[in-house]
């Protein structure tokens, strides 16, 4: 059952929606224009219910099949927000908002799910209910958690939930997925060392925070090399090293380190936090200074359910002829919050030979639209077949 002809017919229209959203990117929960556009289209398609303001600026549409006797309810989720990046594509439909850009393809995800919603509203060739979920603030804002905290899953009785992301470097319209842990937990840390500042010519009169912080940067790499099981993934990255002095001849009183921790299991996540705090405390004590470690827990590990992943892969094969096993991804994805509440699966669809996501020259490939829309529609029609 390859790409549906209906989506080949709709590709031009869906592309227009996508490019309009690309021109008008909105960050985090500020997706007011995008949310209004989505809600307007869902209503025009004839959705049975359209609700705005879920998770602040999220939108939910409900589409009932020709029959609902099965009692099945499936959620399909797309993200809507852009990134604080200045676009450098030179496209005629490039961002009109300075410092904001759809650099991760969420415009494409939203357009594809809108296309699927239009088709499903027309045909209703399934037995059950589809809940289409348009989420703000995936890029660091935790919009998925906000929608869940608003009671979305219980309010509409969602039983399973499915998500999709485009993937540069993979052939256009092809698919990849994996069961179990897929995207990493993403945490952040702020580390504040304090010592005794002074003249660089008299280090004996100081407690040197630069030395402390430098030792910490190196020592934290032993979490991966000496504390973690070699087959349990962990990445500790110090991404900022800032001192309280800008002068060449002053040993600073304070140093601030920032960075991220990425893990693939709850146990490794706990261990990484514990070791960062222990390492920094030990170093500060050794050199006679003090330290404050603030550890911010971000998105949890995104875990695909086994049964739903197998089903999603079979659907992908029916659309494109193949579905590869995806690699582990050490980036974060807040669809993890929805998968903590309901079984489901998250799949990658090929974007072709394009710039990588989060790059100022990235652009979603509109040629992926028919395959992505078809996968959404087939998830519904195959999981909730009409009698």
What is the tens place of the pLDDT at every residue in 100-150?
999 999 999 999 999 999 999 999 999 999 999 999 999 999 999 999 999
Q: Are the C-beta atoms of 58 and 131 separated by less than 8 Å? A: no
**What order do you get walking across the sheet with 49-54 strand by strand?**
49-54, 58-64, 129-135, 73-79, 160-168, 344-352, 175-177, 324-325
pLDDT tens-digit map of 64-107: 999 999 999 999 999 999 999 999 999 999 999 999 999 999 99
Helices (H) and strands (E) in the chain, counts: 11, 16
Reported as a single tens digit per residue, the pLDDT across 173-219 is 999 999 999 999 999 999 999 999 999 999 999 999 999 999 999 99
Q: Where are the beta strands (DSSP E) in 195-328?
A: 198-199, 234-243, 250-251, 254-263, 290-299, 302-304, 324-325
Q: What is the spatial distance between Cα 29 and Cα 20, in angstroms, rounded to a whole number? A: 19
Q: Which candidate, 119, 172, 196, places its Cα nearest to that of 378?
A: 119
Residue 2: the pLDDT is: 65
pLDDT in tens, 14-59: 999 999 999 999 999 999 999 999 999 999 999 999 999 999 999 9
* Confidence band of 1 (pLDDT split at 50, 70, 90): very low
Residue 159 has pLDDT above 60, yes or no: yes
Domains and CATH numbers, the chain: 5-183+301-383 (3.40.630.10), 185-299 (3.30.70.360)
Q: What is the mean pLDDT of residues 282-299?
A: 98
């Amino acid at each position: 059952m390859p790409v549906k002809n209906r989506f080949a017919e709709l590709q031009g229209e869906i592309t227009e929606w996508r490019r309009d959203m690309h021109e008008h990117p909105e960050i985090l929960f500020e997706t007011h224009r995008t949310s209004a556009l989505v809600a307007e289209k869902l209503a025009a398609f004839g959705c049975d219910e359209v609700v705005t303001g879920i998770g602040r600026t999220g939108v939910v549409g409900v589409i009932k099949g020709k029959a609902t006797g099965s009692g099945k309810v499936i959620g399909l989720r797309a993200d809507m927000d852009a990134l604080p990046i200045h676009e450098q594509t030179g496209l005629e439909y490039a961002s009109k908002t300075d410092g904001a850009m759809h650099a991760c393809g969420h415009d494409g995800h939203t357009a594809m799910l809108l296309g699927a919603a239009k088709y499903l509203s027309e045909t209703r060739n399934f037995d059950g209910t589809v809940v289409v979920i348009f989420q703000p603030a995936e890029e660091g804002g935790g919009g998925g958690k906000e929608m869940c905290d608003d009671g979305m899953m219980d309010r509409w009785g969602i039983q399973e939930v499915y998500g999709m992301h485009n993937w540069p470097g993979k052939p256009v319209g092809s698919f990849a997925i994996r069961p179990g842990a897929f995207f990493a937990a993403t945490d952040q840390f702020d580390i504040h060392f304090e010592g005794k500042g002074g003249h660089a010519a008299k280090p004996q009169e100081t407690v040197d925070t630069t030395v402390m912080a430098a030792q910490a940067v190196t020592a934290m790499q032993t979490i991966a090399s000496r504390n973690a099981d070699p087959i349990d993934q962990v990445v500790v990255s110090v991404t900022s090293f800032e001192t309280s002095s800008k002068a060449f001849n002053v040993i600073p009183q304070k140093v601030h380190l920032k960075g991220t921790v990425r893990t693939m299991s709850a146990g490794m996540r706990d261990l990484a936090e514990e070791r960062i705090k222990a390492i920094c405390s030990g170093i500060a004590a050794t050199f006679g200074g003090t330290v404050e470690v603030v550890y911010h827990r971000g998105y949890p590990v995104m875990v695909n359910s086994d049964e739903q992943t197998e089903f999603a892969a079979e659907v992908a094969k029916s659309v494109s002829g193949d579905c590869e096993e995806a690699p582990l991804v050490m980036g974060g994805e807040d669809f993890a919050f929805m998968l903590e509440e309901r079984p489901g699966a998250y799949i990658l669809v090929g974007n072709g030979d394009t710039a990588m996501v989060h790059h100022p020259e990235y652009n979603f490939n509109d040629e992926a639209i028919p395959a992505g829309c078809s996968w959404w529609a087939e998830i519904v029609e195959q999981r909730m077949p009409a009698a």
